Amino acid sequence: MDFLIGFTGKDYAIIAADANAARSIMVYSQQLDKIRELDSHKLLAVGGDAADCIQEPEYIQKNMTLYAMRNGVQLTTHAAANYIRGEKSYNLRRAMSQVDMLLVGYDEGVGPSLYFLDYLASMQKLDYASHGYGGFFCNSLLDTHWRADLTEEQGLELLERCFKEVQTRFMISMPNFTIKVVDKNGVRTVERKS
């Protein structure tokens, strides 16, 4: 029942996830951070099986760090997305994990970018995307209100509209969300105003 959402803006990429840690009909916590910092300019939001959502992103993060140490350069967001897709594809019929992902990053000369990756190893670069049931309610809002030149403030307002829609229409309670932004200055967490 995870909900991930992200989009690019004028000079930033923003990503958000619900904060529920649940299994079946039980909610264990409503303060879980489902967004992992891969490096100084990349964020990965994950949703799916609880164990896989810990193991797979850790493996990806550690191998990206190893690559940077060996080669003296970090992967670009595009390269990181292709690496993740390759690992998921390789493991698809071996030790399949059920993790859906949104990857956002900021690269000099390229700007912000967002990649949609699902548990079947498909990958697509998009302007906006969501995973989970919450996407059923938010995709129409993103279709209508997203623009390439959204300022960060406008982007946060659009996220709040999406959160309100999910909280109004979805039968599962999602009272808390984690929001993170990446831009030329790096990664940061944004506190909700409401």
Query: What range defines the domain where residue 9 resides?
Result: 4-190
From CA 18, how far away is CA 191, in angstroms rounded? 14
Q: How many residues does the chain have?
A: 194
Domain count, the chain: 1
Interior/surface letters 7-25, b for 16+ CB within 10 angstroms, e for the rest: bbbeebbbbbbbbbbbeee
- What pLDDT is attached to residue 14? 98
All residue ranges of the chain with pLDDT < 70 are 194
Provide the CATH number for the domain around residue 86: 3.60.20.10
- What pLDDT is attached to residue 54? 94
From CA 79, how far away is CA 75, in angstroms rounded? 6
